[in-house]
Each structure stands twice: as structure tokens, then as C-alpha cells.
Amino acid sequence: MKNDRTDKNKQRTDPVRMKRRKALQLVSGMLSLSLLIVALGIYTSTRTESLSITGYASGAILAFGSFLGVLGLCLEENRKQLLIAAIVFLSVGSLTSFLCLVVDGVFILLNIDMRPMKAGRCQFYTSGNSYMYENYYASVPCQGLTESCSLKVRSGTCYCCDLYDCANGGYLNNYYEFVGVQSCEDILSLYVLIWILTLLNLLAFILAILTTAVLGSIKDMKSVGPSLPLSYDSSIISSPTAPLLTDHHTHTAQQLYPKASLYVGPAGSGASAAVSQSGHPENQKHMEPNPPPFAPLYNLLP
């Protein structure tokens, strides 16, 4: 019976544990992806001063929400509160990843024209390796497709005259120069990194929605532990009229009631007095020498 009960409890517990284990794997993957977005976003944003990369903001929010989700799935105490907080941060992180996807993918990538860069028509200007030349502006000649003019650039700048509008001062295209790079080849690698960061934000947006749904489905789920067999303590059971649930192989009535008498006091004393007064042996035959617990009172009557 005990083995059957344990097997039933295991069958009830295993689906809950398997669901939490799969949720933990999903949240751990979300945490790893968020940390990767943060690292790649910070590295990409420091490659040049001309681009404002926002992809790492969503990664920071999603990483914190995923960390709360891992704590909520691993700890028994305050599990529901941690999972609710994780769902809130993951929801905000999914919205942030969508905004970063729009900013980095639409307003930056679509406004960068890499054709002059791939054709080798961009120039790199540097005035020296010392820090005193970093903010130094120099006027360089710029020969465009239709006209030529002069362009003021800082040291360590890759500029493309084909993308510069001499008549309007370059206001038609904001990404004709990239400040703070080591060479023009860095722009090609930077372009690839922005694409990777945009795709990671798209993946994080989808995975955050899925993770939020999974955590929302298990936040109210309680763990079902194996039920313990019934056990009785002699110090707890004190009522002489409590039902006896004995096991003939392990316990006896005297072990369950070490301080209680097996006879009913008033009825037993009255019956013994009546037997001693009557003195008839046939009346003693009706009495049992060792009556069982909770013996009916009619056995004690003469």
C-alpha cells in the first residue's frame, strides 16, 4: 500500500517538476541572451561616436527579469512574488527590445549607405596619435560625385565625400562620417555588429514573450510533495475513546496506549464488586479475563 501511494505521488509530482525544469531552462537561455545583448551593445556603442546604439538597454532589463525568474524557480519561499516581478520586468524588457529594434534597425541601419565604403571611395584622416589631437578639426578637400568642397573633420575620422552634400553642408545625410575609428575597415565590422545586435533584439523580443507566458502559467502552481504515512505519538493521543488504528505487524494496543488501562474503571470496579458479592461461578463465565480495548459494557454485566 505504501509503495502504491508513493508511486501515485511521484506521478503527480513529476509533471510539475518537469514543467518547472523546462521553464528554468527557458529562463536561463533568456538570461544568457540578455547578457550577450548587453555585452555586444556596449562594445558596439564604443566603436564610434557618430552612432547612438540603444540595443544594450533592452538587454539590461531582460537580464534583471530573467535573474528574478531563476530565483523564483529555484527558491520555495516568496516564489510567487519573485515570478510576478520577473514577469513585469520581462514585459517591460520585451517592449524595450522592440523599441531598440526599431531604432537600431530602421533609423540607423537603413540610413547607412555602405556602397562608397565597399567601393573604397572613403578616406581616413588622422592628425596624430596623441590625445591632444582628438578634438582638433582640420579642413580637408572633399570631391563628391557632382561638386567639390572643403570638409572639416576631427582626427580619427572616416568620411565619405560621395555621401556629403556640399550645398547643404551635409544635413541631408547624417552618416557621411564616422568619428573615433581606427580605420575605414572598422565601419564594415561595425555595420555587421549592428545587424547582429538587431537580430538578437528580435530574438529577445520573441523569447521574452514566450518566457512571460510560461512563467505566468506556473506562478500559481504549488509543489506536490510525497504524503507521509500516518503515525501516532503516545504523548499526543490522550483520549481513551480515540479510535485505535493499529498495525498487527508493528504496533500493539499497549504500545499505542502505554499509560491507559485496558479496562473501563467505574464499570469494571462495579462488576468486580458484584461478582464478589454474588459468589456464583456461572456469572464469572460471562466476564472475559482480558477484555479488548473498547469492550462493550454488556460483557461486564452479571
Residue 18, exposed/middle/buried by CB under 10 A (0-12, 13-18, 19+)? Answer: exposed
Q: Does residue 41 fall inside a structural domain?
A: yes
Clarify whether residues 165 and 295 are in a common domain: no
Clarify whether residues 209 and 77 are in a common domain: yes
Instruction: Tell me what percent of the chain is helix, strand and coil, each rounded to the nearest 5.
Output: 55, 10, 35
Q: Does residue 236 fall inside a structural domain?
A: no
How many whole angstroms separate alpha carbon 138 and alpha carbon 159?
A: 13
Clarify whether residues 76 and 210 are in a common domain: yes
Q: Does residue 230 fall inside a structural domain?
A: no
Q: Does residue 247 fall inside a structural domain?
A: no
Question: What are the tens digits of pLDDT across the range 140-170?
Answer: 888 877 778 888 888 888 998 888 888 777 6
Clarify whether residues 95 and 170 are in a common domain: no
Q: Which residue has the higher pLDDT, 70 or 127?
A: 70
Clarify whether residues 162 and 267 are in a common domain: no
Clarify whether residues 107 and 151 are in a common domain: no
Clarify whether residues 210 and 152 are in a common domain: no
Query: Does residue 142 contact residue 161 with C-beta atoms inside 8 Å?
Result: yes
The bridge status of strand 137-143 relative to strand 122-125 is unpaired
- Give me the torsion for CA of 68, 72, 74, 77, rounded to 10°: 130
Domain closes at, from 135, 162, 183: 183
Domain count for the chain, please give it: 3
Domain closes at, from 183, 206, 229: 183
Clarify whether residues 62 and 15 are in a common domain: yes
Question: What are the tens digits of pLDDT across the range 190-244?
Answer: 999 999 999 999 999 999 999 999 998 887 776 554 433 434 444 444 455 555 5
- Write the DSSP string, 206-249: HHHHHHHHHHHHHTTPPP-PPPPPP---TTT---TTSPP---TT
The bridge status of strand 177-179 relative to strand 157-160 is antiparallel
Q: Identify the band that residue 41 occupies on the pLDDT scale cut at 50, 70 and 90.
A: very high
Q: Does residue 160 fall inside a structural domain?
A: yes
Clarify whether residues 104 and 163 are in a common domain: no
Q: Which among 78, 73, 79, 34 has a CA at the least distance from the CA of 57? A: 34
Question: What are the tens digits of pLDDT across the range 103-141?
Answer: 988 888 888 888 888 888 899 988 766 555 566 788 888
Mean pLDDT over residues 265-287, rounded? Answer: 47
Clarify whether residues 51 and 176 are in a common domain: no
> What residue numbers bound the domain in which 282 lies?
262-299
Reading the block at residue 39, the C-alpha cell is 555585452
Q: Does residue 82 fall inside a structural domain?
A: yes
Clarify whether residues 211 and 102 are in a common domain: yes
Clarify whether residues 26 and 159 are in a common domain: no
Q: Does residue 249 fall inside a structural domain?
A: no
Q: Does residue 33 fall inside a structural domain?
A: yes
Average pLDDT, the chain: 75
